[in-house]
Structure 1
Amino acid sequence: MSNIRRYYIPNALVFITNVTLDREPVLAPDWAVDLLFSTMRKTQAVHPFRLLAYAILPDHFHWLMRVDSPDANFSKVMHSVKRGFTITYKRARGLSGTVRLWQPRYWDHIIRDAEDLQYHFDYIHWNPVKHGYTKKPEAWPYSSYRHWLARGYYQAGWGHDIEPGNLSGSDLE
């Protein structure tokens, strides 16, 4: 495996995409999503971070996060979440031996400016529509979209059935 260097910038916002191994729908059951959130909260106690936006789909998730530590090391957060989820998932399913649930790497992107932030924020919230799980972002239960809609960040009807203009031609997961 290549040794890709990651850059850690204090107080930076980071867009993360994490995909399950072989795109298995590990996160399809409600209990698995609950387990991911529980693992995330446990990780936050050890490696403080703020989750600003998220979308969890059956075979991957997107986060927009800020690590609240001087080293800003989001790799520690991701390692802890992936490892903690796998251990607890194995226990819940009665599995033993080596179980791999995640692709070895994940995608990260440091947010550069306000336009980049808007793009990734919208990308996260429109992702369930993009993948055909729903026709309206607010109908997807595992997304922060409704939180931001209720606070007036999005207008009612945003992203219904059509790709928002700023996402046109995007080639992310």
Structure 2
Amino acid sequence: MSREKRIWVPHCFYHIVCRGNRRDPLFRNASDFEAFFHILQQLHEKIPFELASYCLMTNHYHLQIRSQEIPFSKLMALINKRYANYYNTKYRLTGHVYEKRYFDQIIDDKEGMLEVSRYIHLNPVEAKMVRKPEFYPWSSYHLFKYPNSKIPIFVNVDILLNFYEGTEGQRREKYCTSITQALLRGVATP
């Protein structure tokens, strides 16, 4: 039985989720998270893509991503292959690092974009790893909360902030308030 072919719409964002094999950790320490970001940086230099939000959890990761030049199947193959090579080499392992093919869902409107980013940023809170999203260092939430954060070249916070009106500071505040309100309501799932 063959796999269903992935649909790629170049101008649309997708919610991508990839989990470690057997739900084992993908990231064991800070250097693993940093290696993943380094891989994204290297690939971005060759294959432009942009993230609206991201969160790297211990055993999986979420990307809100758009690739306008190459299909996701190729981009994700490169990301996951490079990270799997890094991981297996570092920990002297062989075999599969990822559980299965990544999950992908197209996001086709403003509400979907905001809902997915909220879900991504609240993931560590829902997993009871932190009390507030700004306390989790491996998500993009701090890039929205703290204007002086150094934004990686592959992240474009304006994609989400432009859904709000006002100055940059007001838009950041409105975005972060929407995350806080969702947390208080207990609404994190897309």
Aligned match of 1:73: 71
TM-score (norm 1): 0.85
Alignment of 1:155-166 (within 5 A): 155=177, 158=180, 162-165=184-187
Which blocks of at least 5 consecutive residues in structure 1 are unaligned? Answer: none
Cα separation, 2, equivalents of 1:81 and 1:157: 28
Q: 2:87 aligns with which of 80, 86, 89?
A: 89
- Range that drifts further, 133-142 or 21-30: 21-30
Question: How far off its partner does 1:148 sit?
Answer: 1.2
Aligned match of 2:134: 138
Q: Decide whether the 8 Å contact of 2:16 with 2:62 is kept in 1.
A: yes
CA 1:159 to 1:89, structure 2 compared with 1: closer, same or farther past 3 Å? farther
In the alignment, is residue 31 of structure 1 matched against residue 31 of structure 2? Answer: yes
CA 1:159 to 1:137, structure 2 compared with 1: closer, same or farther past 3 Å? farther
Question: How far off its partner does 1:161 sit?
Answer: 6.0
Question: How far off its partner does 1:11 sit?
Answer: 1.4
Which blocks of at least 5 consecutive residues in structure 2 are unaligned? Answer: 148-171
In the alignment, is residue 16 of structure 1 matched against residue 16 of structure 2? Answer: yes
- Range that drifts further, 99-108 or 14-23: 99-108
Aligned match of 2:166: none
Cα separation, 1, equivalents of 2:95 and 2:13: 31
TM-score (norm 2): 0.78
Aligned match of 1:154: 176
Cα separation, 1, equivalents of 2:30 and 2:181: 24
Q: Decide whether the 8 Å contact of 1:55 with 1:62 is kept in 2.
A: yes
4+ residue runs over 6 A deviation = none
Aligned match of 1:110: 106
For residues 1-58 of structure 1, the C-alpha deviation after alignment (integer angstroms, 9 at most, x for no partner) is 7502211112111110110001111213111111111111222233221112001100
SS in 2 for 1:100: coil
In the alignment, is residue 46 of structure 1 matched against residue 46 of structure 2? Answer: yes
Cα separation, 1, equivalents of 2:82 and 2:13: 23
In the alignment, is residue 99 of structure 1 matched against residue 95 of structure 2? Answer: yes
Question: How far off its partner does 1:116 sit?
Answer: 0.8
SS in 2 for 1:154: helix
Matched AA of 2:90: A
Greater share of helix:
2
Report % sequence identity.
26
Question: How far off its partner does 1:159 sit?
Answer: 5.9
In the alignment, is residue 5 of structure 1 matched against residue 27 of structure 2? Answer: no
Cα separation, 2, equivalents of 1:3 and 1:156: 38
